[in-house]
Structure 1
């Protein structure tokens, strides 16, 4: 019975190895995505450092100037009849403000406040249900001071009350909280599971060199798929924007936030190809076993068993 089962053992080992290696290669890009979301986007310091350079991006400055200028004009309309006439001057003043050091300070402070408010809502399960709000009064105060310094009429009438602005609707908080908890858990377990499955798959393989080569190629494929997913996500994100004028600003923000993830995808691609290439070259340049030479006979023919003399 064991003689019939022995030839099938390499096939079973190779099948198990292929399954484990495939799972490891599938979990690798998913683990990179979860780690990026949990340790990159969910860290306020890293997030602010990532978006801080966007304050000097022309597309982002123009988008902020249009949004803030429209809001200021909307606030002036019911308070003075000159609101519509002052619209172009207000927008020009806000656009000029976005090119100052004060705007960069306000940009970082506003992003930090929004990020901390969102994280607080996602991490606090006992928080009261409701939208995530942020007080943007300090930003409005800076704009008002800028307009007043430029001797803009009615600038001192711009209200700077502590108005709570909703950044996340109440209906989306519960779903985002569950998603954050899943990502936070997956960021630790997915990379660890990928490493364990890859090592186990290589260890149980009948030919470990081939399993290592397959693991490298699978990792490279996972990195390429992750880079493709980032590109598709960018295209879909920009396509869903209702305002085409602000798509360059949204593209700049998307590229800044996904820069680390793109780097991780290219690292996976390069690492996987390097491992596969080294493993393949090592197998080709390794020592080869020569087949045993046939035993020569004096007559040049095959050796015959000695004849048995008949017993007398």
Structure 2
């Protein structure tokens, strides 16, 4: 090959190498953007899917509504008002006045009968309120609430997809809280106590409007899509992230970038949830539902979504820190030296006291990268298999992984001195 041909070959090779690097950078960038954009949707999709597909998870989600003080107070006040409104106290006092007049009572006494309207209504209100409060705050009601939501588990389907029915329901343009279970229980209690008018509480009054908007159908359509994607979208995001790290020119830097990006998107999701909470509260009329009750219902219903978002954020932060600690930074190198020094000192101390790990320790020392990788992979697998992990469970798994790595470092350092081979002796023999 001539010099000119060799020069042309080198030029083409460099051009191909540059083109290849550009393609890798482009592919990595596209994969990262898709990962960042889909990560929040994946979290929401998992929440929707768990609420729809897992009965126990749904019951666990809505159970606190029955014991929330603000909800109890609102239900008690609303039911009390509806019962009292069905009792015509004024008609009763008018009948008393007519009876007194017919019996020839003095005019002053007849006129005084009208003054009984206020006290009678107040007494009735107090008595009904007391009975309703006992029903709403009883353990039996909480059990009935859970049982009703378990048997009619389509609650979340009703809210998010407009199908089914339960305590939380979706109308044409509203989301309602169904208090039918409470109404039926209270009606029976009031009738047993002598308030026959309680049986006239109309069925139409068994719901309280929580949220009203003409965009509910659009929101339900989006939630139906998320429900379908709930199983696969998280897998797609993990695959995209893995491909981005694999295709990146610098795997560690790409991993750190991926973790930071996902963490930022989780913060964006938390901010979005906070904004939507305020939008929801602004949409609820105070005449329909008190602000504290509306806020309590909202927070209870979405608490697992927020918890999952925070969990992913914590995992992202831990992943970014781990990627940094494996890098060439001064801080990372200092932490690694300090950790190695600590485990090494502990291992050598064990060896001096006769607790040597021998060949097993030397094997661990020779394969530190493999043992470290296995420990970290085991922690990651535990989180993947964990049923609805929380920040607490992430901290627990992280603590166990760190403890395992520390123990492995100590055992590797406690191997002691390698045994020497058999001493060689000059062959013995008789001289010639």
TM-score, normalised via structure 2 length: 0.54
Q: CA deviation at 1:278?
A: 1.2
The residue aligned with 2:67 is 56
Q: CA deviation at 1:72?
A: 2.3
| 8 Å CA contact 1:122, 1:176 repeated in 2 | no
Q: CA deviation at 1:156?
A: 2.4
| 8 Å CA contact 1:220, 1:272 repeated in 2 | yes
Using the alignment, how far apart are the partners of 2:283 and 2:177 within structure 1?
Answer: 25
Moved more, 70-79 or 136-145: 70-79
The residue aligned with 1:158 is 198
The residue aligned with 2:300 is 256
Q: Aligned to 2:243, what secondary structure does the other structure show? A: helix
Moved more, 269-278 or 181-190: 181-190
Higher Cα radius of gyration: 2
Q: Aligned to 2:233, what secondary structure does the other structure show? A: helix
The superposition leaves residues 231-256 of structure 1 with CA deviations (integer Å, 9 ceiling, x where unpaired) of: 22222212222117721122222222
Using the alignment, how far apart are the partners of 2:242 and 2:66 within structure 1?
Answer: 45
Q: Aligned to 1:254, what secondary structure does the other structure show? A: helix
Q: CA deviation at 1:194?
A: 0.7
Q: Aligned to 1:258, what secondary structure does the other structure show? A: helix
2:317 equivalent among 273, 298, 307: 273
Closer, same or farther: CA 231–219 of 1 in aligned 2, 3 Å: same
Note the 1:298-309 alignment, pairs <5 A.
none
Question: Within the alignment, does 1:234 sit opposite 2:277 as a pair?
Answer: yes
The superposition leaves residues 63-106 of structure 1 with CA deviations (integer Å, 9 ceiling, x where unpaired) of: 11122223323444599757992445433432343222333244
| 8 Å CA contact 1:135, 1:162 repeated in 2 | no
Using the alignment, how far apart are the partners of 1:122 and 1:240 within structure 2?
Answer: 20
The residue aligned with 2:406 is none
Closer, same or farther: CA 69–113 of 1 in aligned 2, 3 Å: farther
Closer, same or farther: CA 55–235 of 1 in aligned 2, 3 Å: same
Q: Aligned to 2:284, what secondary structure does the other structure show? A: coil
The residue aligned with 1:305 is none
Note the 1:137-156 alignment, pairs <5 A.
139-148=182-191, 151-152=193-194, 155-156=195-196
Using the alignment, how far apart are the partners of 1:218 and 1:135 within structure 2?
Answer: 41
Query: What 5-or-longer segments of structure 2 have no aligned partner?
Result: 1-11, 94-116, 165-170, 334-432
Q: CA deviation at 1:43?
A: 4.2
Question: Within the alignment, does 1:23 sit opposite 2:51 as a pair?
Answer: no
Greater relative CO, 1 or 2 (CA 8 Å, sep 6+): 1
- Aligned-residue Cα RMSD (Å) equals 3.7
Using the alignment, how far apart are the partners of 1:113 and 1:160 within structure 2?
Answer: 27
**Paired residues, number:** 277
Using the alignment, how far apart are the partners of 1:175 and 1:81 within structure 2?
Answer: 51
Note the 1:90-169 alignment, pairs <5 A.
90-109=128-147, 111=149, 116=154, 119=157, 122=162, 139-148=182-191, 151-152=193-194, 155-159=195-199, 163=203
Closer, same or farther: CA 18–118 of 1 in aligned 2, 3 Å: closer
Q: CA deviation at 1:257?
A: 1.6
Moved more, 264-273 or 7-16: 7-16
2:49 equivalent among 38, 41, 47: 38
Query: What 5-or-longer segments of structure 1 have no aligned partner?
Result: 125-129, 287-312
Closer, same or farther: CA 106–122 of 1 in aligned 2, 3 Å: same
Using the alignment, how far apart are the partners of 1:231 and 1:239 within structure 2?
Answer: 13
Closer, same or farther: CA 114–157 of 1 in aligned 2, 3 Å: farther
Note the 1:210-229 alignment, pairs <5 A.
210-229=253-272
Q: Aligned to 1:67, what secondary structure does the other structure show? A: helix
Q: Aligned to 1:159, what secondary structure does the other structure show? A: helix
The superposition leaves residues 173-207 of structure 1 with CA deviations (integer Å, 9 ceiling, x where unpaired) of: 96576444312212123212211111111111111
Q: CA deviation at 1:41?
A: 5.4
| 8 Å CA contact 1:136, 1:163 repeated in 2 | no
Using the alignment, how far apart are the partners of 1:48 and 1:119 within structure 2?
Answer: 13
Note the 1:290-301 alignment, pairs <5 A.
none
Using the alignment, how far apart are the partners of 2:305 and 2:155 within structure 1?
Answer: 24
| 8 Å CA contact 1:238, 1:251 repeated in 2 | yes
The superposition leaves residues 271-310 of structure 1 with CA deviations (integer Å, 9 ceiling, x where unpaired) of: 1111111112212168xxxxxxxxxxxxxxxxxxxxxxxx
